[in-house]
Amino acid sequence: MSRTWFDDSRLEADDLADDESLWWLASAGARIRRAALSEPAGRLARADRPRGVIVLGAEARLVRAVLEPACPVPFMAWPGPALPAWVGPFDLVVALGSHDAPAWEVRCLAETVRRGATVIVAAPEESALAAASAGPLTTHLPTPPDDPMAAAIAVLALLGQLELGPAVDVELAASAADAVAVRCSPARPLGDNPGKDLAVGLADSFPLVWGGTTLAGRASRRIAETLRRASGRLALAADAEELEAVLLGTPRRDVFTDPFEQDAEIGPALLLLDVDQVPEPMTETAQRLAHLADGVGVRVCHISSGMAELGASDVERYVTLLLQGRYAATYLGIGLGGAQSG
C-alpha cells in the first residue's frame, strides 16, 4: 500500500471551521436531542409485554448491546433479508433507518404490519420505512436523516420508558456529544485536540481497531468504516485473535528506512478503544496486543470514553468513543487532502 502524504498544517487552516463534515459532527448533540424528544406519531396499542423484540436496520447491534442484558423478553438484532417466520401479533418489531434504507428492510417492515405485530419505526417522516410501516399498531419516531446513532438513542429511550431496557438519559448522551465537539473543535490546536492528535498518529498507517467491551467493539467497527471512507486506506476492526495474526505477520519496522521515500509502504497502527474500561480478563488481551505491536515497531494509539470513576452510562461511552473516532477520521481526511468522512 503506497503512501499519500499527510500535511498537518491543514489541520490549523483558518477556514477549517467552515468544513461541512466538522459542522455535521459538531451538531451531533442537537440531532440526538431532536430525535429523542420528537413527539412520536401514533402510540403503542398494547400495554402487555411483547413475547419478543426484534430490531432491524442500522445500529441494530448497538440497540442489542444496550438492551439485551436488561430486556425481560427474548431479543434479536436481525440482519435480514427476510422476516423470521415466527414474528406475529404478540411481538414487537423495531426498525431504524434513513431515507435510503435498503429494500429488504422496507419489505420486512411491510410484512410485519401485514402479520399484525406491534411496530416502532425510527426514520425520517417522508422515508420509505415510514410509509411501509403505516398502520394502527405503529409508533413512528421522526428522526434526522443520515444519523443512525441519534435514531438508535431515541429508540433506546422509548424502550426504556416501556420497561424493555435500561433507562436512557437523552440529555446526558447529547451532552457527551457536545463535550467531544468542544474537545475536538477545529479551533483547538494540535496537542490540545484529541481528534487532531489521533489523526496525526494514524497519518502514515492503516489502523487496526479493537474494543474490549461489547459497545467498544461496536464502536470500533463504525470507526473503521469512517476511517476507510476518510483516507481511502484499509482500516480493520476485528477480534483480538485476528488482529494478533496481522501483527505477527507484520515485518519489524526498520528505524533506518527513510519515511519520506515515495514508494515507502504503509504499515499498521493499533488503535485501542476504552482499555481503561475493559473487564479484568480483557485487560490481559489489551496488554498482549500492545506488546505485540511494540515488538514490531507498530504505533499504539488510544481512544478513551473518560475516566472509569465518572460512572458514565453505556450510551454516553459509546457516543464519546464513536464521535472521537469520527473527528479523527475527518481530520485525517483533511490532512490527506480532503477525503470525506461521515
Number of CB atoms found within 10 A of residue 302's CB: 16
What is the extent of the structural domain holding 201?
8-19+186-335
Is residue 236 situated within a structural domain?
yes
* Buried b or exposed e, range 283-295, using 16+ CB within 10 angstroms: eebbeebbebbee
Residues 45 and 13 in one domain: no
Domain-located, residue 340: no
3-class state of residue 51 by DSSP: coil
Whether residues 35 and 12 fall in one domain: no
- In terms of domains, do 320 and 196 share one? yes
Same domain, 13 and 134: no
Quick one: pLDDT at residue 260? 54
Quick one: pLDDT band at residue 205, thresholds 50, 70, 90? very high
Q: CB within 8 A of 130, min separation 6: which ones?
A: 121, 123, 124, 140
330 and 192 in a single domain? The answer is yes
Considering the domain architecture, whether residues 82 and 151 belong to the same structural domain is answered as: yes
C-alpha–C-alpha distance, residues 327 and 226, integer Å: 10
**104 occurs within a structural domain:** yes
d(CA 329, CA 338): 11
> Are the C-beta atoms of residues 11 and 199 closer than 8 Å to each other?
yes
Report the 10 Å Cβ neighbour count for 139: 20
Asked if residue 327 and residue 206 are part of one domain, the reply reads yes
Q: CA-to-CA distance for 121 and 55, rounded, in angstroms?
A: 10
User: Are 330 and 306 contained in the same domain?
Assistant: yes
Final residue of a domain: which of 108, 142, 169? Answer: 169
pLDDT value for 309: 47
User: Could you tell me if residue 49 is inside a domain?
Assistant: yes
Residues 303/281, Cβ–Cβ less than 8 Å: no
In a domain, 313, yes or no: yes
Which DSSP letter does residue 186 get?
T
Within a domain: 24: no
Using the predicted structure, report yes or no on whether residue 308 has a pLDDT greater than 70: no
User: Which residue(s) pair with 57 in the sheet?
Assistant: 96
Residue type, 159: L
Do 89 and 225 sit in the same domain of this protein? no
- Give yes or no for a contact between 20 and 165, defined as CB atoms under 8 angstroms apart: no
The residue among 139, 169, 199 that closes a domain is 169
Its pTM stands at: 0.91
**β-bridge mates for residue 119, sequence order:** 93, 138
293, 311, 110, 331: which is closest to 203 by C-alpha? Answer: 331
Looking at residue 340, its pLDDT comes to 46
What is the number of alpha carbons within 13 Å of residue 328 lying toward its C-beta? 28
| Amino acid 3: pLDDT | 58
Crossing angle for the helix pair 170-183 and 148-161, to the nearest 10 degrees: 150
Residue 197's CATH number: 3.40.50.10490
- Whether residues 143 and 250 share a domain: the answer is no
Same domain? For 14 and 34 the reply is no
Helix axes 314-335, 148-161, angle to 10 degrees: 180
Q: Is residue 342 part of a domain?
A: no
Whether 341 is covered by a domain: the verdict is no
Residue 108: its H or E element: helix 103-115
With contact defined as beta carbons under 8 Å apart, do 117 and 88 qualify? yes
Task: List pLDDT tens digits, range 18-36.
Answer: 999 999 999 999 999 999 8
DSSP labels, 198-210:
HHHHTTTEEEEEE
**Cα gap 46→42, rounded to integer Å:** 12
Q: How many domains does the chain have?
A: 2
Residue 306 has pLDDT above 90, yes or no: no
Contact 273, 321 (CB under 8 A): yes
- Arithmetic mean of pLDDT over the chain: 89
Of 1-5, 28-32, 239-243, the range with the lowest mean pLDDT is: 1-5
Would you state the cell numbers that stand for residue 154, as one nine-digit string? 431515541
- For residues 215 and 93, membership in a common domain is answered with no
Q: Which of 169, 199, 220 is the last residue of a domain?
A: 169
What integer is the mean pLDDT of 291-305? 95
Distance CA 271, CA 310 (A): 23
Instruction: Encode pLDDT of 116-151 as tens digits.
Output: 999 999 999 889 999 999 988 999 999 888 898 999
Matching residue, cell 428522526: 143
Examine the pLDDT at 45 and tell me if it is beyond 80. no
